[in-house]
Structure 1
Amino acid sequence: MRGVVGIDCGMSNGSEPGTGSDSGSGGGLAPQSTLAPTDLPYRDLFLSLVEELPEAIFIKDLQGRYLFINEVGARYLGKPVEEILGRKDADLMSLEEAQNTLEFDRQTLLAGRTLHAEVHEVLAGVPREWLSTKGVIRREDGQVVGLFGIARDLSPHRRDEEARRHSEALFRAAASSSFDAFFLLRGEQAQLRLLRLNAHAERLLGGAAADLEGHPLLEVPHAAFIAPRALCDEVWRTGVPHDDEVEQALPGRGRRWFRRQLSAVGDCMAVTVRDITEQRENQMRLRLNERMASIGMLAAGVAHEINNPLAFVSSNLSFIGGELRRMELPRDDSRELMDALREAREGAERMRLIVESLRALSRGDPVNTHPLDLHEVLENSVHLAWSRLRSRGRLVRDYGELPLVLGNSVQLAQVFTNLLINAAQALPKQGGEIRLVTHMHGSSQVVVEVRDNGCGIPQENLERVFEPFFTTKPVGEGTGLGLSISHDIIRGLGGSISVDSVEGQGSIFRVFLPVVDTGPLEKPPHEASLRQFA
């Protein structure tokens, strides 16, 4: 503050204290001060500057009299400048306030250097918080002749800070009560930065707000779908809010559907994201139920139309069998004809069971379960799918010893036939192989594995293979219902079905079924174990 020393604080002889003509400039200099006997060319500049500053600025002599104060300081003291100059704090404020001020002055003069402090006091009847700076003024020879002070009122800042905290608390309370994940992003030149997010947004991103706020959005894994930069730029450019639905895969949660809304707020972007996966699944189930109702009506008609000619076929097969037994044919010819007749009867019986299943489907009858030999069901499924299997590769059976399982033979044959056909369709043109593996899983379940070395299932589709109507096959080659229906059948029988797949290496479908608590089978393992079909 040595530059203040040269300020002309004197007035012409005969002037009264507090009536200096310079006070009209906003601030004022006390008359006949001993601080600055010389004049400086920067006096007017100094006076102009201190009047533009928001801080209170003043100069006192060693007796504590105000020699200079700007308009801000005078306003805080609650008096005009001319009533302050030449007076002491005891003349301008309460005794307690004056003593506190004088004590800070005394410490500053004793220290001989600039001191800083935060001061809480009541000034002119108003509680205030100050950031106060005081320092000594020296002459050219180093002698202390007074002190200066700069005081900044922190009360508005404190009020603004408190209001900001209050507003933030209200925002978090309001945002947390919403069912949507809420994000406030600020657009920067090269990125989007997370400013605020609520509790639902924390759960969506898998992190705490304190750890995420202030960070670029791209640094948060799996968060880019919330607000793609190109989409934000479009909303900023047009000013039109954006509303759409987006599908996203999340770690540990699978594929989810979200309703996303973006609105521009200055250089910020307000984004709400709502998980609508359950809603979409309910809609898909409703559509599936509608389709299944139509299929049920169709099934009833088909079952009725097939049943009559099937009865004729079965009756004629019985008649042919009786006639063949009465005919005298060579033994080899007779055996060959009887084998063909037996296979035709088995096929007719299988068709009858399918017709019964179609009727049950159309009526909504409960599924009847009974103990059965799973290997026999698998062999029936192989026969049903053999026309597809034999041209695509080889089938390897690896059957273990299993107890009876609780299930429905027609439904299980439908499941395994579908799995075998899917596996055959995935095989490469050369070197394709399907393995049927059975073994125990613990003591209460058996496992049937249908393995193939085919093309595999892409990772993005792996979690959707059991969804109704989801298919990667060309139009006309698949309905997307096979695996979905198989999943529902196995679940209805008290079991489960899962899939593991590596793209380009193959897939493994595993079917888990409950066993019948009657002990292991009496008969030895299926004689077809480890047998191979070329």
Structure 2
Amino acid sequence: MHVVTLGVPQTVREEWERGLREEGMRHAVECQVQHARGLEELPELLPAGLLVLWDAGGPVQDTLTLCQRLHARREPVRSHLVVLTPRGPDALDTLEQAGADECLPPPGGRWGARLIALARRLRSLEPSALMMTGGNRMRTEATLQALLEFTLAEPGPDFFQVMVRQLAQALGVTCALVGELDGDSVRKLACFNLGDFCELPPYALAGTPCEITVDQAICHYPDGVAARFPEDTMLREQGLRSYLGAALRDSSGQPIGVLAVLNDRPLEARQLDYALINAFAVRAGFELERRRQRDELERSRDLLQKTLDTVPEPLLVKDRGYRWIAMNNAFCRLMGRPLEELLGRTDRDLLPKAEADTLRRQDEQVFTTGQPHEAEDTFTDASGQARVLLTRKTLFTGGGRSLLMVLSRDITERKRLESQLRLADRMASAGTLATGMAHEINNPLTFVSANLTFLEEQLTGMMVLPEALPEMREVLTETREGVGRIRELVQDLKSFARADDERTGPVDVHRVVDSALRLMRSALRHRTQVVRAFGEVPPVRGNEARLGQVLVNLLVNALQALPARTADDNRIQVSTWREGPHHVVLQVEDNGQGIPLEIQRRIFEPFFTTKPVGVGTGLGLAICNSIVQGMGGRIEVRSQPGQGTAFQLKLPVDGMTPQLRGKEAVLPL
């Protein structure tokens, strides 16, 4: 007699087992006892015999769950489930409803009588008693009940093995097998033959009873099946004479497999037998379809993962609850964690609060509006280093779900190089302006020096005549003005060349224009007249040094576009006006040679230039475009050959209360 115990404490196990064996020997029943601490230590199909579950006295639901699982994994007619429990009558009723045959107070008693009764029942259920005798088969209601309970059991990894074993033993046949259709053959899922599981190679359908089963849904040959199907070598080699099979079908009714029992003696079947094998076939078909769907889902998931991993940039998919449900290897490397640790997490689980809150607001905006969102975000990587990511978020909907696709690009190094290029461009522009600046500074220095010499001569004798005082006051005033002009030029040059690129805030557009025009005064005064047409505009959001760099570049380009003619015929106009509630327009327009249409399409490309080698690098307008976009604006060009060019900067208004300022004048050069 096989005895399985679950959860019996070590302190009572030896004495309990000794008493059980003694009672078994007294009644001539040999006991083989197997102890287990948990269900995972027991086989999927429990052996026939005595099952003993120890109630540890915790929550009654824990004991109920164990009882239900033991009951689902046993053959009720071949086993006896006893629960050793000190609980009251209500709990005992619940345990018996969960599958227990008997509830006893621990450690139990009268084991000998139970062993004798169970041994008698097992002998009556031996396969020989279920074999055909003169075309009749004896089967009890308990056997049918056991088979039907199996069809309702939860599937496990050994589902098909358990099924064919129980079917073969219950019907007393030589072989039971279940297979999956694979083209023109059947691929074995499980085969129980001559009392043991066996391997079975792919089984060709042609010329076999399984082929008829697939066509007719159910097939029965009481005897002579080997002679009827001579091409089926397995029937002849195994000495099989009878066959009963049913087709497995999916939810759409298409055949997907075969369930069959075969015997080495005649096999008569009644209506009950047909119903029985059909019930098993329906359950097996459902399980096979479920496994196929699971495998297909896993293949699709693997394909999706491999597809995501081919994307070199970090890619992430979020659901409506902001959970990370898919990602690629590049994103895992960025986070410094494996895929398993990231699935199901959110930004707030792994990122600093300020960054996570910003991302949550962006996500919600895309989920709500359905519009893509692109932004540069600061991201703290796994090493704690701050990086800059250019992130684009797009909404996908389908199947009743909304998913957010997040594609990021690490632009930290690019931002650093852009900053260096902008600084180099400003330094190059400052070098270009150096000669004119030296001339602008030299003029006031000349008369400042002369005035100081005059004052020195007047004060040498310490005798200053009253009539000389007005002239000396005039000399001092001119000297102060000259020094002020020098200070102003130097300050403009410092503002233009400084490298605090990352600082943003409200910028007075007109002040930036005035500063740029002062820097360009020497270069502009002999070539053109400059007109300022300023409207009333609020401060814009940006960086003063960067905007000054853009203006100097545009003024230099406008100056170079002017033909060789008198200054009165050349004109550069700098205009500002407000466009709607959110933008300010700053325009630099000249009446020069203009830009051909085919060149206009490429002027913002890096390193594209029409200037001779050594004169232009092709970076000026590309850097201008990058700066303006970085401020949240855009730059546009309008030009016709021979009629001049206008560059327009459309800049976002700063969120602060605007302080309007406007004037219109021709700049005196």
Q: Please say whether Structure 1 and Structure 2 have the same fold, judged by a TM-score greater than 0.5.
A: no
Q: TM-score range by the shorter chain?
A: 0.3 to 0.5
TM-score (norm 2): 0.30
TM-score (norm 1): 0.37
Higher relative contact order (CA 8 A, sep 6+): 1
